[in-house]
Amino acid sequence: MNNLTPKQDGFCQSYIETGNASEAYRLHYSVDKMKDATVNNTAYKLLNKGEIRARIETLQLVSRTRHSITIDSLTTELNEAFKVAKEDIKPSAMVAAVMGKAKLHGLLTDKVEMKDIVPVINLTLNAK
């Protein structure tokens, strides 16, 4: 068992279902008085906590095992999608299949833009 609070565990479960940390946060925490940027930032911080990350990885492993999902099975499905798209002369679908394979095999990552997060800079001045 894990040592998470019910809200934290619910967040993890919802993140697995939605793939969206902000949405998962909204489902389990009171956000009525929070700005969207604050929700996004808080969800991002929660997502990166060690015990949260570990729980999510466990849930992902359980899901992949339950559904027999492997890199090989996904690659096969993407290859089939590419063939169908090529036969139907659908270049955008062909590109999507190729990009999906590249992401799956770690050759391509999504660029994430973090807006409305203010960096904190600590300065120490030594007055002499």
Chain Cα centroid distance, residue 84 = 28
CATH code assigned at 63: 1.10.10
Q: DSSP string covering 57-125, please?
A: HHHHHHHHHHTT--HHHHHHHHHHHHHHHHHTT-HHHHHHHHHHHHHHTTS--------S-PPP-----
Indicate whether 76 belongs to any domain. yes
Helix (H), strand (E) at residue 14: helix 6-18
- Residues 97, 44: one domain? no
- Residues 1, 59: one domain? yes
- Residues 10, 62: one domain? yes
- Residues 4, 60: one domain? yes
> Rounded to whole angstroms, how far apart are CA atoms 72 and 92?
23
Q: How confident is the prediction along the chain (128 residues), in pLDDT tens digits per residue?
A: 578 999 999 999 999 999 899 999 999 999 999 999 999 999 999 999 999 999 999 999 998 888 888 889 999 999 999 999 999 999 999 999 999 998 888 887 766 565 555 555 555 565 55
> Can you give the residue range of the structural domain that contains 89?
70-109
> What's the pTM?
0.61
Question: How many domains does one find in the chain?
Answer: 2
Indicate whether 28 belongs to any domain. yes
- Residues 59, 98: one domain? no
